[in-house]
Structure 1
Amino acid sequence: MSTETRMKTIDLGAGVVASSPNDLAAVILAASDKQTAEKSIEDAEGRADFLISTDALNYWRVAWRCSAEWDMKALDVALAAEIRAAVCASRGYDEDDFDSAIQATRGRARLPFGWSALDLAWRLSQNEPIRLLDPQLAGKRVPTAIAGVARQLQILQGAEPILLPIDQLRGMLEQRKIVVSGAVQRLAEAGLLEYADKSYHTGKAREFRFVGVEGEHYAAVGEGGR
């Protein structure tokens, strides 16, 4: 008699809590069903193609989220196999076919399941902390945290501008809105952030670029910095 691989319970947000491989498989299936329904593909073959590719992509998103939450480079092999097997059993996929779909979608997930880019940047900034070198900002918790998030967002966005939503940042930092807003302005004045749109008008989210230079504006903690 086979037993399910044990795993840590994980809260994926929106009331979704998973405590077993079958739970994670159910999350993948529900997400794919929703995306497929929204696509409204009339052709049965096209719908089936979209469904298996979406299941594979959502497998990677769930695996990424679990790995990030549990501070692992990748899912435990046995756990990953059980999740895939549960998806295949529910959909009627051949397991080798689904493995091929997973291989084809490797690296295509843009974000972990249930996380925004800001959520991911926040987690990455905690794993790769920096310290600010400007004497006016050195050792200051809020500016340092925002700079770390902005740096990670810029890495994720590439050359595209980033958003630093004040309300979400204040929630993460447990700070007042005016404090977070002022910290963002201080980072801009210190040369770590630049405004992407110089002709900004109120009423829309302001876009930035993180332009801080390592060794000039900041240092990685543990690399020449304490």
Structure 2
Amino acid sequence: MKSLGKVNAVLTGRAVSFAHGAKSAIDKKVVDGRQSVSFLGLMGDEQGELRFHGGVEKALHVYPAEHYSKWVKELGDRDIFQHIGAFGENISSSGVTEKDICIGDKIRIGSTYLEVSQGRMPCWKLNVRFEQNDMAKRLQDSLRTGWYFRVLQEGDIGQGDEILLCDRSYPEWTLARIMSLIFEGCLETLELQKLAQLPLVESWKKLVDRRIRDGVVEDWLPRIEGPCRKDK
């Protein structure tokens, strides 16, 4: 096993009322001690809208702490960047980013056994949380989205745990590479056919298949602007 990084903190949140009549658990807080992880994620963690968040393919969201300094440079030294959890992450990591973790990587953290399932597709709730109308788009364009794990073996995780790479089947396919093709609107058939051969989650596979079939990039605005579009 190879150490990729470490866990800085583990965070959970409760679903509460949010903007535009929605619910959200994006305001996650650091929890002390070792935390139990099931196939659906951390015990005590919630999601506001299960249609889009949570589930076995999005059991744990990881966000690299290294990104915070980049956001400060771009958006200023805001209070929200002073505390881990700004992006609603379950795990704050250091040492590994989207550029050096690959789709399908098998990872050991504590006694859990995890698999990299997908990058995050940012939504409009980030715009509200950061009081920045284009925050979801900024996250998407930057490729600093963090990523999700599916849980292959339940267990527990805690602050200081190493993020250990156990197996890497697709070393050429970092999440940054995959997300750049998706988010930058790639329509090159050969590249899309290569993507389609990867173990993508169902929604991403359907997206790639549609691009191959129709030669059209999907409309991101409903996701990245959502109800906020009506406020303009």
- Report the TM-score when normalising by structure 2: 0.26
Q: Which has the higher strand share?
A: 2
Greater RCO (Cα-Cα under 8 Å, separation 6 or more): 2
Q: Which has the higher helix share?
A: 1
- Report the TM-score when normalising by structure 1: 0.27
Larger radius of gyration: 1
